[in-house]
Amino acid sequence: MKCSLCDEDSYFYSTYLKQWLCKKHFAKMIERRIRRNILNNKFKSKDGYEILKSTPAYKVLEKLFNEKGGIKLDSYILEDFALEVMKYFLNGENPVIKISKENYFNPLYNVSLEELEAYCKMKNIELNIQYNDKILDFLNSMEKRRPGSKISVVESGRILGII
């Protein structure tokens, strides 16, 4: 298949966007999403905000566990947050993780495991994340039938202040 945006060979199919993307456009999509997450989040630490604002998204991915300017970047992704929201709705469990708190932010809250694996493989970044959860199996089956459903679950949790 060819990229939906140019004539290059495709690398990744985005079910959410319903587009085939070449490596260049796939990387731009992921990096733009992470940069938007970083820029749209309001940090208390101005120095940390400036560091993140000027850091390319792929460097953020390489240094997920490093602290910069008082802001800790964590490696929780879309699946983690979708699980937290669903466990809250189904079992009444209080979420353990949050998208952001004071001087703390998860820039990958709307990046799926599939996207992250493809991106890291392309950039030669080592990644080892595994899940074994029945609720996530349900969310994945829901995602196959209706692309974007995990993002909708996370957004509803974010809007309601759950995560």
Sign of the CA dihedral running 38, 44, 46, 47 = negative
**25 located within any domain:** no
pLDDT at position 130 is: 75
**7 located within any domain:** no
What residues make up the domain containing 85? Answer: 43-159
- Tell the residue number behind the tokens 């390489």, with chain if given: 62
Pairing of β 12-14 and β 100-101: unpaired
Q: Name, in order, each residue with C-beta under 8 angstroms of 122's C-beta and a sequence gap of 6 or more.
A: 11, 23, 26, 27
Number of domains in the chain: 1
**58 located within any domain:** yes
pLDDT at position 29 is: 92
pLDDT at position 72 is: 53
Name the helix (H) or strand (E) containing 14: strand 12-14
Name the helix (H) or strand (E) containing 104: strand 104-105
**33 located within any domain:** no
CATH of residue 49's domain is 3.40.50.620
**49 located within any domain:** yes
Question: pLDDT tens track of the chain, all 163 residues?
Answer: 999 999 999 999 998 888 999 999 999 998 888 877 877 765 544 455 555 555 555 555 555 434 444 445 556 889 999 999 999 999 999 998 888 776 667 778 888 989 988 988 887 777 777 777 899 899 999 999 998 999 999 999 999 999 8
pLDDT at position 66 is: 42
pLDDT at position 76 is: 82
User: Residue 43, exposed/middle/buried by CB under 10 A (0-12, 13-18, 19+)?
Assistant: buried
- Tell the residue number behind the tokens 């009444």, with chain if given: 92
Q: For residues 49 and 43, is the Cβ–Cβ distance under 8 A?
A: yes
**34 located within any domain:** no
**28 located within any domain:** no
pLDDT at position 61 is: 54
Name the helix (H) or strand (E) containing 30: helix 23-40
Give me the long-range contacts of 8-11 (CB less than 8 A, separation at least 24).
11/118, 11/122
**17 located within any domain:** no
